A and B are shown apart, each in its own frame.
Chain A
């Protein structure tokens, strides 16, 4: 039995998981149209490689990755590309970004060029990583960081943690995945372990998912009995149900007792942490040759008629998914993600993207009246990052951003624990989100202004140099002609000369 640690703070929450975890995953029928954003991940936007009017098949590359931290986009249905343009994104702002729109041809053909990686047993880690990169796999737990980049840490890794915790209330997509495809998840673990050459692999599941644990244990026992290579290093660990145990840093603390340094990343401790959904996608990419074109989405909440889990082609409009789940009842709030960390959407026209793990439709609750902060300190007790939310709130309201940096606002994971325990119902996380984006904007503007300053200084220098050179030329010519009767400077001519020079320089 592995020793487990506690992380500071956190709260026990009612799960509401039984709403959506009683039925098997259903396949969503192929939607009429899908809208595939070029940026569904952290990093640079993908670049389209198809044109409007082109026929594409499911799994075909639509847009390629443009840098190390980027991910390609593949067709999630077969049909015709009818538009490459801006569409509403699943984001609280309702901002539009570039998407590739495919109209379905009613068939659901996989792209014929797809093949699993040849000679998997002898493939090098670099080859496996490339397969993951080409499949467009990103962190499916919601952080959407390109997985191939995460699998190339700058130091050796001892521990691979596969995150099947799913600590947010209502969400059950990982639970259902582990129940239905336990073997797929375990084989994904083996592949990831090979890529990282990690000594141990811990598959962590919260103890409110006994069914998933049973299925995983069963599949693992079969694999151990068959004496498959590497399988003995996999360890199944049930962890106590405390929110947010599924946060990367919290999970590392629970399993290893180590704390990721503030501003640092897990690899610094020799740990890499990936979600079970990502692990299954890695399996599909390497062993079946299937790029990431669909994902499991939980549709749940008090405002939906038949909650459940659906395998949804990426880019499917959310209203199509809601209709499949029986439609929303009356007026309901739409949240992408869970009730704690999810983001409110303004429209169901937006699409399911790689990071969409849950669509939560809840009947609107009574608005609670916000009261002044009484500095009771409950938020600080609940904070899993050991921050002081009451201080952060104070300085965010007062817009004293330098103080916020000192109180480590960057470390806030926006888990929402402080919000929930606040007896004055202050929306603390909203203040932190405001301050974070405001600071990011100021930093960006400052960087831009530094660049502008440099460019303007270089320009000034150049203009002066051109002027000086023109004068020197004139002086030389004069000296050569040795005719001192011409007047000393001829301004207009000089300026003309400098201007043409400058233009040719530019």
Chain B
């Protein structure tokens, strides 16, 4: 018995060292579900910190408005928690439409403040040169908007223009006469 216990103990001890997992796999899994806007609306400085907080259990799953209803449900599934209404969306409103930032090139003074604020390097430019937003990379996180941008009416958000290739059909209204209940 003692020999067996020792053998298993040694085996487990070896395995703990040999198959040691770098980092926290749970945080990676949660991070993969988050929308990566890095917007900080959850109160954490980016998506990964929020993922860590969720893994620790110190944050709720409804703090991520960009992830929408689907994102919250995915988190609920992953963490085995109950779905709850998203913050700021208790009134059951529709999914927010995707937004991108635009620099008004006639008013931009080239202060580089938005460039420093952008969490995904989606704004390019140099001091005293006009800046511009790379629309394909902008996550619409709002971190560059005034008061970060010191010029009024310079940095604004606008809706992403819908295209046929990205247009979605609606779920047909199930108007069944009766449900088998």
Contacts and interface: CB of A to CB of B under 8 A. Distances in A.
Contacts of B119: 456, 459
Contacts of B169: 92, 430, 433-434, 436-438
Interface residues of A, number: 41
Nearest to B98: A445
Task: From B116, B120, B174, B178, name the one whose CB has the most chain A CB atoms within 10 angstroms.
Answer: B120
Contacts, number: 102
Contacts of B174: 370, 397
Contacts of A26: none
B47 A503 contact: no
A506 B121 CA distance: 8
Task: From B119, B126, B168, B169, name the one whose CB has the most chain A CB atoms within 10 angstroms.
Answer: B169
B37 A452 contact: yes
Interface in B60-102: 70
Contact of B34 (A93, A430, A449): A449
Contacts of B166: 440-441, 444
B177 to A, nearest CB: 6
A153 to B, nearest CB: 24
A27 interface: no
B163 A95 contact: yes
Nearest to A428: B172
B115 interface: yes
Interface in A168-189: none
Interface string B14-34: 000000000000000001001
A436 B166 CA distance: 11
Given A434-B168, A506-B115, A456 B120 contact: yes
B4 interface: no
A253 to B, nearest CB: 28
Nearest to A449: B36
Interface in B97-138: 112, 115-116, 119-127, 137
Nearest to A452: B36
B2 interface: no
A502 B164 contact: no
Nearest to A92: B169
Task: From B70, B164, B177, name the one whose CB has the most chain A CB atoms within 10 angstroms.
Answer: B164
Interface in A387-413: 396-397
A499 B31 CA distance: 28
Contacts of B163: 95, 97
B108 to A, nearest CB: 14
A39 to B, nearest CB: 8
A503 B170 contact: no
Contacts of B126: 503-504, 506
Interface of B: 31, 34-38, 46-47, 70, 112, 115-116, 119-127, 137, 139, 162-164, 166-172, 174-180
Given A397-B174, A503-B112, 6 more contacts: A91-B164, A97-B164, A369-B175, A448-B36, A453-B47, A504-B126
Chain A to chain B: the 7 pairs with minimum beta-carbon distance, closest first? A452-B36, A449-B36, A455-B120, A437-B168, A434-B169, A430-B172, A433-B169
20 contacts: A93-B164, A95-B164, A95-B167, A97-B163, A370-B175, A372-B179, A372-B180, A396-B171, A430-B169, A434-B169, A434-B172, A441-B168, A445-B35, A449-B34, A449-B35, A452-B137, A456-B47, A503-B126, A504-B126, A506-B124
